[in-house]
Amino acid sequence: MSNTLAEYEAVIKVCKELFIKKTRDYGTAWRILRPSSITDQIFIKAQRIRTLEEKKVSKVGDDIIGEYIGIVNYCLIALMQLESGPDTPTELSPEHVSQLFDEHSIATRELMLAKNHDYGEAWRDMRISSLTDLILMKLLRVKQIEDNQGQTVASEGVKANYQDMLNYAVFALIKMGIK
């Protein structure tokens, strides 16, 4: 498990470095996004990964690794947005964003460690394409929950689904050798 933790933290470090660089370039323009728009952004990235996995060729030039990093970062945006209240300003400092990123990535990492304990790191034997499909399935679940105005009868809410998608994307990046 200690190897998984080190690999996980290395991937999160890469994702965070890009996230903070983009925050310095663009500010926190993402704060304007509604939850459904964030879900759709993640869906676009996951669908593109699936298309690239099936067609094996990209006409745009962006690679699967970049798309998985995007999924990690958009899931963190979603988690930040879920916790933001109406009084949260649209523009946040890079330092504050860095702190929020750490809080949500650490909470999600802790969930991963608990699930890894219970599932025996089954993800290590999975295909990357299966991780993509699981992300797409979770996205369809989140879309349905959003369409139901957040109401669930017997299911976990959107936060848990975003955390699972984030963890699946990190697993895919680990399997692809990101360090």
Which residues does 18 contact at the CB level (< 8 Å), separation at least 6? 69, 73
pLDDT in tens, 20-52: 999 999 999 999 999 999 999 999 999 999 999
What's the rounded Cα separation, in Å, for the pair 140 and 152? 14
- Give me the pLDDT at residue 2, please: 58
Which residues does 144 contact at the CB level (< 8 Å), separation at least 6? none
CB 59: neighbour CB atoms within 10 A? 5
pLDDT in tens, 100-140: 999 999 999 999 999 998 998 999 999 999 999 999 999 99
pLDDT in tens, 167-176: 999 999 999 9
In angstroms, the first-to-last Cα distance of the chain is 17
Whether the per-residue pLDDT at 1 is higher than 70: the answer is no
Alpha helices in the chain (DSSP H): 2-26, 35-55, 64-83, 94-119, 128-147, 158-175
